[in-house]
Amino acid sequence: MSEAFLGFGSNIGCKVGNIRRAVQLLKQVDGIEEITLSSFYKTEPIGHVEQDWFVNAVARIVTTLSPLELLEQCLAVERELKRVRKERWGPRTLDIDILLFDDTRICDERLEVPHPRFMERAFVLRPLLELSPSLQIDGIRLSERLESLGEQGVERLESVVVLLGASEKPDRFSNKAQKALMDHGYRVVPVTPRGDSVLGVEVLRSILDCNDPVDTLTLYVGSARLPDFLPEILAIQPRRVLFNPGTENESVRAELAAFGIETIEDCTLVMLRENRF
């Protein structure tokens, strides 16, 4: 078995969702035995700066694949997620780089390991050190290298709870759930086509407008309407989807599970009250 670290970047579409989907696809590859994903980080573009900001992350994998076999699998995932290579440092749906592969050193036209320039980039070192805090390269502690680089405008993204079907009406369960979540310290993103804010929080018109990592998507829309939202849910790739009473839909739940998204049929209010959320 070998240990490798992969770097991910995205600045087109649902950035966090693109990276999470890539990880799900890599989990299905024969020869990748384990995969652990870091937190997500917001990063200003480098090189070609006239483009949207990036989300970056790093994954640690345990694999029986060779470096070049792993490269082929990464390129296949990029193609699956519609990566088009038009310009260096340009916008991309997804970029996957092999940062490290055991202590192997490779330098050919297809692959260079360790990845060149990764020790100059805080958006690589911060998530990398999150997974392996004591990592060293050529006797250089990467934690000390990161300290010397400074922040470089890299910002850790905090996970949120998205509430689909938010309501300004205090008697609605979605309103009660949002208040309870906020009272428990969760950062809630309400989504509804009406109004400007709910409980003092600005609403989004679509879950696609959420640029933060979605830990939980809690549903307060009718079961019959859920298939209309499925493409958007798959795009943002929440860690889990919570079907509250009245929103249960087995076909939608099965589709989410097929994409590696955890699903739960429960009640947000009850889960909070029983400290199960």
Residues identified as active-site: 83, 92, 95, 97
What the block records as the tokens of 34 is 């384990």
Question: CB within 8 A of 146, min separation 6: which ones?
Answer: 122, 125, 126, 129
Tokens 């990161």 identify what position?
A: 146
Q: How far apart are CA 229 and CA 149, in angstroms?
A: 42
What the block records as the tokens of 154 is 């890299």
Return the axis-axis angle of helices 67-80 and 15-27, rounded to nearest 10°. Answer: 130
Name the phi and psi angles at 32, rounded to 5: -105, 110
What the block records as the tokens of 18 is 């693109």
Q: How far apart are CA 145 and CA 242, in angstroms?
A: 41
Closest C-alpha among 277, 135, 275, 127 to residue 215? 277
Q: How far apart are CA 52 and CA 227, in angstroms?
A: 30
